[in-house]
Structure 1
Amino acid sequence: MEWAILAPVAILVIFGIIQTAFWYTARTEAQGAAAAGVRTGSIQGAPAESAASAARDYLGQVSDGGNTVRAERSGTTITVTVTREVNRVLPIPGVPTHVEQSATAEIERWTQP
């Protein structure tokens, strides 16, 4: 009788831990891709597409798809935003299916000392 009560709770806790690990992994991959893109895009004269391409290359090495990369370059900064799909253990309502991470850096430029 006790097993019938505790088993569903134990299974739910185990799946919750696994889902949290999937979410954390997707978040870390998105952060790494955004940082890689910003490093490439912050070089003076580099187009925004090179930042997005670097982020996609990073994601190609660590993930299996479900990614969106957006790079925006202003006069002094570059921002790369990566949206990463989270693998799901079970289709539980309310569990986030995507994570979004962004990185911003100043564009390198020559200045007078």
Structure 2
Amino acid sequence: MNRTKERLAARFRQGRRDDRGFASVEFAVLALVVLALVFTTIQVGLYFHARKAAQSAARHGVEAGRAFGSSEGDGVAEAQAFLAQFGGSVRGASVSSSGSSAEEIRITVRGSVATLVPGLELHVTQYADAPIERWTTP
């Protein structure tokens, strides 16, 4: 009976030794998953921030370009000025007024998003349009 207890105790001790270091492996795997989730969350935030900055620049450009006596060039210049001041998250931004007509102005902002992953390219394109203010006779 005593020998049986000794054998069980030896097996128990050996079983405990086999599990040593397993917690470190679990932690390393879990840390990778958590880091991937954190970086994905940050990247999604960067994308939506760049998208909002591009949309705001387009809106500011449209408001400047639709005023009475203004031109499409005024709208493009205002959108570029807005991006220079607030659009740091939109890299390589280009502003155009293509698609505008005599009755409507359209400002389009295109650029890329800053990324955390090398080689990943995310692009953003936002536009705004509105009727041009003009005098009409009753």
Question: Normalising by structure 1, what TM-score?
Answer: 0.89
- Quote the residue 2:93 is aligned against: 67
Structure 1: state its 5+ residue gaps: none
Higher relative contact order (CA 8 A, sep 6+): 1
Q: Percent identity?
A: 36
Instruction: List alignment gaps of at least 5 residues for structure 2.
Output: 1-24
TM-score (norm 2): 0.74
Contact 2:54 2:87 in 1 (8 A): no
The count of residues paired between Structure 1 and Structure 2 equals 111
1:27–1:84 Cα contact (<8 Å) kept: no
Once the two structures are superposed, what CA deviation does each residue of 1:59-108 show, in whole Å capped at 9, x if it has no partner?
01013442110113301000000013201011265xx5211100000000
Q: Output the amino acid matched with 2:101.
A: S
| Residue 86 (str. 1) matches residue 113 (str. 2) | yes
Larger mean CA deviation between 40-49 and 71-80 belongs to 40-49
**4+ runs of 1 displaced by more than 6 Å?**
none
Match runs of 1:1-113 below 5 Å: 1-64=25-88, 65-72=91-98, 73-91=100-118, 93=120, 96-113=121-138
Higher helix share: 2
What SS class does the counterpart of residue 30 from structure 1 fall into?
Answer: helix
